[in-house]
């Protein structure tokens, strides 16, 4: 059985695993993603009945939950009517309502299987799932044949797509009725040969917030991805969102966020935080749902109040400040997208301004700081967070929420600062300690969760193990020293 792309799983909201339909089977083919369903047809003296699309039971078999939006029917008055080979930009589920067809497909997608073919006869007991990028064609074998295709995008006037000549010698489709005797449209008679067809490129990955610490790490692991920042795509701007060609993409990595937790407590900061951390993710969740995209979004330990010493993915949300509240709202919105990965993390360190860089600079400048010792958690290096993203997407892990931080023994900010000082040749005793309350006295600051340690057992169960954050700290500081030489 071939799994659906990008981690698609049976509906997680279903009350129970559906009972299989007796006689319903799914077969793979020589074209990746092209699936043949054998569907039970119940007959009596009145005629017959079948379940042409039964979402729960068919997806349980391994059929993609492709989200159909439009049903089209093509009536073929005479035997020999032949249509194709058309590569429309959507997935489709094809079947016949009356009569029979000889159906054939050619893989028009860029890659090793470009030009691969498959054919099968379709009567009411056969249904075929055709993925985007695969050329579709058929020939009616009986008069009065009604051919049905259920698609997951709306047809629009003027839409263009690749087509292939029905007589292409490379595809060598064995049409039962010779094409010279078939009824073919003028347009289809002049479609190009395979050697003249540009392969359909795969849909792209979009990294939103590509200039931030996490965005840079994601760009390294997704070198072919398209990256945008606020000046190129403002997801809070309805006009920009409406004009963006979302159908060109298959995966959105939303690394954009407003992370100035203290500034979020100001009137202007509050508006910005809610726009970036709540409104934008809600918009992306809607876009992902409408266009059948996978959405990866990144959240924070600040969605919890920090009273629990270890936070699991299913802990109730309890944010203390504006930043945490806006991130929690974004979490709730993203969870509504059928194909989503929500990665909760903490204490992020990467290519940019962060705590470790600040402590290193203080150490080099001869400063002896006072650092809080009553906030406990783990560092998360952006390379680890990006690697976890790639692992979940590529391994087709079940959609949902995952905690992702460095592994190893949790520490306080003061513990980590002392280690940075040691790595810079300073005495750890040069770092004194203070409490969060003492540090915050007289300042407009966001309340902090005292315990930020996230339980990693769920993502580890998928086969991903993050680096020990103490080891990662040593590597990171060494990389900063090398960079500065």
Question: What was the pLDDT predicted at 3?
Answer: 35
For residues 304 and 450, the answer to whether their CB atoms sit within 8 Å is: no
Question: What was the pLDDT predicted at 10?
Answer: 37
Residue 109: phi, psi to the nearest 5? -85, 145
Question: What was the pLDDT predicted at 2?
Answer: 36
Q: What stretches in the chain show pLDDT beneath 70?
A: 1-21, 482-485
Look up residue 328 and give its two tokens.
């929690």
Domains along the chain with CATH numbers: 5-196 (2.60.120.10), 204-484 (3.40.50.720)
For residues 129 and 149, the answer to whether their CB atoms sit within 8 Å is: no
Question: What was the pLDDT predicted at 484?
Answer: 54
Cβ–Cβ contacts within 10 Å for residue 392, how many?
A: 25
Contacts of 356 (CB under 8 A, 6+ apart): 349, 379, 416, 420, 473, 476, 477
Of all helices (H) and strands (E), which one includes residue 136?
A: strand 134-140
For residues 392 and 462, the answer to whether their CB atoms sit within 8 Å is: yes
Q: How far is CA 131 from CA 31, 70, 276, in A?
A: 10, 15, 34
Question: What was the pLDDT predicted at 481?
Answer: 77
Tokens 């279903």, located at residue: 14
206: β partners: 226, 252
Cβ–Cβ contacts within 10 Å for residue 81, how many?
A: 22
Report the distance separating Cα 209 and Cα 269, nearest Å: 18
Catalytic, 119? Answer no
Question: What was the pLDDT predicted at 79?
Answer: 97
Catalytic, 402? Answer no
**Catalytic hit among 6, 119, 138, 149:** 149
Q: Helix count (H) and strand count (E) of the chain?
A: 13, 25
Secondary structure class of 26 (helix, strand, coil):
strand
SS (H, E, C) the chain: CCCCHHHCCCCCCCCCCCCCCCCCEEECCCCCCCEEEECCCEEECCEEECCCCCHHHHHHHCCCCCCCCEEEEEEECCCCEEEEEECCCCCEEEEEEECCEEEEEEECECCCCCCCEEEEEECCCEEEEECCCEEEEEEECCCCEEEEEEECCCCCCCCCCCECCCCCCCCCCCCCCCHHHCEECHHHHCCCCHHHCCCECCCEEEEECCCCHHHHHHHHHCCCCEEECCCCCCCCCHHHHHHCCHHHEEEEEECCCCCCCCHHHCHHHHHHHHHHHHHHHHHHHHHHHHHCCEEEEEEEHHHCCCCCCCECCCCCCCCCCHHHHHHHHHHHHHCCCCCEEEEEECCEECCCCCHHHHHHHHHHCCCCCEEECCCEECCEEHHHHHHHHHHHHHCCCCCEEEECCCECCCEEHHHHHHHHHHHCCCCHHHCEEECHHHHHCCCCCCCCCCECCECCHHHHCCCCCCCEHHHHHHHHHHHHHHHHC
Report the distance separating Cα 84 and Cα 94, nearest Å: 13
């Amino acid at each position: 059985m071939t799994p659906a792309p990008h981690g698609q799983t049976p509906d997680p909201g279903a009350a129970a695993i559906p009972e299989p339909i007796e006689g319903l089977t799914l077969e793979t083919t020589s074209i990746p993603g092209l699936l043949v369903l054998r569907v039970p047809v119940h007959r009596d003296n009145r005629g017959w009945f079948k379940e042409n699309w039964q979402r729960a039971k068919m997806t349980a078999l391994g059929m993609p939950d492709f989200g159909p939006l439009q049903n089209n029917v093509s009536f073929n008055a005479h035997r020999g009517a032949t249509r194709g080979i058309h590569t429309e930009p959507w997935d489709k589920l094809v079947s016949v309502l009356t009569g029979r067809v000889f159906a054939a497909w050619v893989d028009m997608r860029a890659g090793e299987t470009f030009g691969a073919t498959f054919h099968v006869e379709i009567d009411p007991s056969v249904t075929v799932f055709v993925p985007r990028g695969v050329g579709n064609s058929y020939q009616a074998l009986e008069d009065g044949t009604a051919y049905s295709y259920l698609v997951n995008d709306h047809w629009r006037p003027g839409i263009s797509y690749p087509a292939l000549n029905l007589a292409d010698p490379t595809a060598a489709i064995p049409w039962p009725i010779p094409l010279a005797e078939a009824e073919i449209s003028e347009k289809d008679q002049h479609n190009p040969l395979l050697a003249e067809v540009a392969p359909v490129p795969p849909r792209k990955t979009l990294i939103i917030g590509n200039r931030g610490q996490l965005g840079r790490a994601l760009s390294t692991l997704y070198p072919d991805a398209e990256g945008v920042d606020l000046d190129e795509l403002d997801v809070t701007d309805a006009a920009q969102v409406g004009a963006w060609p979302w159908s060109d993409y298959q995966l959105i990595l939303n690394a954009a966020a407003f992370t100035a937790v203290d500034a979020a407590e100001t009137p202007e900061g509050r508006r910005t935080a809610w726009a970036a951390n709540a409104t934008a993710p809600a918009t992306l969740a809607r876009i992902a749902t409408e266009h059948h995209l996978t959405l990866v979004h990144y959240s924070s330990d600040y969605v919890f109040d920090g009273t629990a010493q270890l936070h699991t993915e299913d802990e109730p949300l309890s944010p203390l400040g504006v930043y945490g509240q806006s991130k929690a709202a974004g979490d709730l919105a993203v969870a509504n997208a059928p194909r989503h990965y929500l990665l909760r993390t903490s204490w992020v360190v990467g290519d940019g301004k962060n705590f470790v860089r600040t402590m290193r600079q203080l150490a080099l400048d001869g400063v002896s700081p006072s650092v809080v010792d009553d906030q406990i958690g783990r560092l998360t290096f952006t390379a680890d967070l990006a690697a976890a993203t790639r692992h979940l997407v590529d391994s087709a892990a079940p959609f949902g929420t995952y905690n992702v931080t460095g592994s190893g023994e949790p520490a306080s900010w003061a513990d980590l600062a002392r280690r940075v000082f040691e790595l810079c040749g300073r005495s750890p005793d040069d770092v004194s300690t203070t409490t969060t309350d003492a540090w915050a006295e007289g300042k407009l600051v966001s309340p902090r969760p005292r315990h930020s340690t996230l339980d990693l057992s769920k993502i580890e169960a998928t086969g991903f193990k993050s680096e020990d954050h103490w080891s990662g700290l040593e590597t990171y500081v060494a990389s900063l020293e090398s960079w500065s030489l």
